[in-house]
Structure 1
Amino acid sequence: MEKFTIYTGTTVPLMNDNIDTDQILPKQFLKLIDKKGFGKYLMYSWRYKDNKYTEDPDFVFNRPEYRKATILITGDNFGAGSSREHAAWALADYGFKVVIAGSFGDIHYNNELNNGMLPIVQPIEVRRKLEQLKPTDEVTVDLEQQKIISPVGEFTFEIDGEWKYKLLNGLDDIGITMQYEDLITEYEKHRPSYWQ
C-alpha cells in the first residue's frame, strides 16, 4: 500500500446523505475480479443518462472543472449498505484519495482505509464551507498533524491510532505481517517435523 502522509488535491461536492454502496457501485459490476477498472462505473446511475454511458452533463462529476478532483466532500452516512469492498475500489480507481463525510457506514469506512484512502468525518458546518471551494482551490490533508488546510479554513480530524500508523507507513495487513518476517523464518526453522 502506498504511504499517505500529506496529500494535496482539489475537491468535488456531492452533498447527498445516505449514499449507499449500491449507488457508489451498482451490483451488476461486482463480477469483475481485479481492483482496477471500477472507476468508470462509479456512481453509474447518476453519471450516465439511461445507463448507456452517455454522460449526464448536470451530474457534478461530469463537469469539466471537477474532472480532476481527488477529494470528495459528501453527506452523512456515506457508504451505508452492503459490505462490498468494490465500492471502495471504484472510488480509488476513479482517483479519490480522501472522502470527507458527516459519517460513514462502518464497513465501508474500513474498506476505504484498507485501500489506502483516508475517510474523514467532519460536521456539516465544515463541509458546507468546503462545499463552497472553487474547483481550482487546493486542499491539503496532513495525516500526521490530522489537519485539513484549505482556503476556507483549517480543520482538525480524528483517526484511530492504529489506522494512522498503517497509512503513514503504507502498511496493509500483509505489510504488518511482513514486519515479522525474521521471526517467522526463525520459527519455521524450528517447527516440529510432523507439521511439514
Structure 2
Amino acid sequence: MKKALFSKVAGSLLLSAGLFASGAASAQSTLTFNADGNASFTAEHAWSDDVNIDTYLFDVDTTSWASGTAVVGRTTINGARLANYAITDIQFFWEADDGNRTDLETVFTTDGGIEFYPVEALSAGSYGFTVTGNTLTANTGGIYTGTLNLAPVPEPTIYAMLAVGIGLLAFTARRKTDNKLG
C-alpha cells in the first residue's frame, strides 16, 4: 500500500516538474509542415498568475494563405470539466532578415472554437505568430494545441486557363442550341 502511494506521489511530482520545466522553456518553436501544408503546435504551462506568450516561427516558399485553429485542454475538478487554459490573442508577424518583426493584420476569433489567420496572403519569407494566454485553474497547469495550414495562392495563369475553359464550354453549349448552325 505504501509502495503504491509512494509511486503515485513520485509520478505526480515528476509530472509537476515537467509542467514547470515546459512552462519556463516556452520561448519559441519552429514549425515543420507536412506534405498537405499542415503544422502542429502545442504548449504546456505550469500554474501561474503571469501571462504566457509563446512564439512559433515558419517560412513560406510561395505566396500562400495561412489559417489556423486551436483548442485548450480541460481538467476534471470535483466532477466538473473545466478549461485549464485561456488563449486571449494570436498575432501573426513578418520577420525581416535582421530579426525585426512587423505585426500583420490578424483575425482572431473564439466564436465556436479558436480560429486565426492573417488578413492578407503571405508572400515568400519568414513569418511567425504569438499565442498569448494564461492558466485558469489554481494549482493546475494548462495546455493548448493547434494546427496551422498554408495553402498556395493560385497563379494568374491558372485563372486564365479557367476562363478559357469556361469560355469554350459556353461556346460549345451555345452552338448546340443554335438551330441556324445545324
Length-normalised TM-score, structure 2: 0.26
Instruction: Report the structure, 1 or 2, having the larger helix content.
Output: 1
Please say which structure displays the higher CA radius of gyration: 2
Write 1 or 2 for the structure with the bigger share of strand: 2
User: TM-score, normalized by length of structure 1?
Assistant: 0.25
